[in-house]
Chains A and B, each alone.
Chain A
Amino acid sequence: MDFEDTPEEAAFRKEVRAWIDANAPKHLEAELRRANFGSSGVVSEDPIAAGKAWQKKKAEAGWACLHWPKEYGGAARTPIERVIWGQEEGPYAALSGPFTIGHGMCGPTVMAWATEEQKRERLPPLASGEEIWCQLFSEPAGGSDLAGLRTRAVKADDGSGDWIINGQKIWTSGAQNSDWGLLITRTDPDVPKHKGLTMFFLSMRTPGVEVVPIKQANGASGFNEVYFTDVRIPDTQRLGAVGQGWEVSLTTLMNERLSIGSGMSAGFPELFRFCMEAEVDGRPAVEDSSVRSKLAQFAVRQSGLKYTGMRAITALSKGETPGPENSIGKLVAGATMQDLSIYALDLQGQAGVLWDESSPQNGRFQSMLMRSPATRIEGGSDEILRNIIGERVLGLPGDIRVDKNVPFKEIPTSGKRK
């Protein structure tokens, strides 16, 4: 066992480090180090523009979408090289926030299902950051039960082969900045729900698409509602066969959970630093035995995540596929983040209620408290993740599905009970 690079990995790391050192936007480093929960931390300039500039620079030098094939704007690097790049990019990775969904989820789906011509047309501008993509999946009636979605795509009756889309999506991250969207719709309500879905991609500027930001519980607006009113798109923008949408969506969702779960910090280093400085009963908090017990439990969850990630990197380094242990990442990080932030406020005493310039670490723990409920829901809720671990890792049977073999239109919904 060791944490050393192989000679090839070390050479690659050296090359990456030198390039980043010579090219990174260092004037933004201090702001980026304050990055927190989806915001890049950049305030001195437009974060989207800053992200696009960094992505373009990387693409021009061959450092964008490292694992993608070269013909689609990638660099055809190995998974372990991608990991090393991520480690070396450090704080500047936060600049790539706007591209996370496009690069991590939409791109791989397009790569798996689009025509060669579409791939060569759409993927390079996604890789280089010229174009931002969003994922139009969740709906008011279909979140955890994604296949319950109700947005309809109907063939136009003019013989053009075009599709007319009507409906509503919700929780769409980054839709307000996006150029393109990956859209899952219902094309046949007369068959069981998983069988009547079809996947498309479309320009977010297509007439009839309206993006409305959602004001979240924490006051921020990262998520959106997206409304579709008689939106017409050509059949060529379909991914997979009509009725194959569920299968196509699994490509995206598999990538989503990998992308959201990997390398997450649960916030322990920051809590530990806070406890080194804070006082409990006139002594440093870290000297108090009850504080120590709490901290230790947070510490082992954080280090467990860290070394689980390293076990995955070990597999990649050997050219193997990482095991199922990575499925715990987001489940552990989300819940730990929430518990940890509640505890950090507790240690701040009655002043923990404040979320202003007097709050320790720029109000990091208050931000974490208010953002963490979303982490436990987005990209697969805690409960869905437990189902996945139970069924796919431990081999337990699925729940009995009362809607499985019923035509979609006959399934009871919240407003329509039998």
Chain B
Amino acid sequence: MEEMKVLMLGWELPPHNSGGLGVACLNLSKALAKDGAKIDFVVPYTAPLSEQTDFMNVISATKYKPEQKFGQEKYGAYNSRGYDKTVPKNTITIRKVQKDYVKFIKKHLMDFKPDVIHAHDWLTFEAAILAKKNYGVPLVAHVHATEFDRSGRRGGNKLVEEIERNGLLMADKIIAVSGATKQIIMDKYGIPADKIDVIYNSIDEDFAKKTYKYDEEDYYYLEQMKERGCTIVSTVGRFTVQKGLKNFIKAARLALFKNPKLIFVLAGDGEQKGELLELAASYGVSKNVVFTGFVRGKQLRDIYELSDIFVMSSVSEPFGLTALEAAHHDDAIILTKQSGVYEVIRNVMSYDFWDTDKLANAILALSDGSVLSRVLKQNMHAECKNLSWDDIAKQVELIYNKLDKHKE
């Protein structure tokens, strides 16, 4: 690739991420930089520089702290919530963060002209639209999730939809993280198919390295249960309607009727936590359903490592990176057919998100070190080997190179 100046508009980067968006942004940028791209990555907060990102120039658009990036409201990159008018005037809302972000980009572009702007999800789209309109810089809109996904396939926030639509209309090219996401963009926003390329995510490079060491002390109780012959079934994610966790607990109850030696682990946090705890209690299965709270980094990997089965129960999941991470840790994978990652790994058990009977069947069929689990995993590992961020970067570069050079 001829040296290309890329202005990435993002909302989060590890370690200040709360989900897969930041991880995907980091890995994509890293692979592009390896190929010679010069990347300025804008985030909406100020934080100490991390070694993880030293291959590119991370720019802070505001003085807010990382934890303020979603404002004090409960909607953001991942959640969908009605716009709350009761928020007092002086609090930092996500709209305030976004407006400051736009202002910054406006100023930044006065004395810097990138070859391409690569904007990640609706949060950055207003800034991207401005850049495209005022400065004519070619725009690539990268969709990691749509408002339709975040709202769990129900009506989303109208304002967010509007911003999302405008960004997509304005973009020269759109990258969708799965065929399912591409379809949603076409159906919901009427964007023509040929404007959208599907580029899947891959697993974090560091994940693939052998430096990780499992810590048996981290989840001592679960480890003990495992030694007593229990099968550990886990899921990782934000507790929002999008993730379909109520169905996960319903299936847990069903499966426990047949096999009491199952432990279900829900790693994460979110608005549904109380509801999920209550549901498990009402079924009388609380003893077998463990909530770990929000985990990241090594603690998260330890969960993957001690789990036998990983479930992605999402009602709508644009991609679903955690499934690849769990696969890397040799978990047998169960996915909803509504998860984008199902387009990439086929050697999994699949079900429709509402089909709790089938999910319970799959959990039971995979437990106790069954032949099914062994064969499935063998084939899955062969499949996962074909996914790499370097290949993804090549696909993105192809898109960059086909864009018209911006008009001075």
Do A and B associate with each other? no
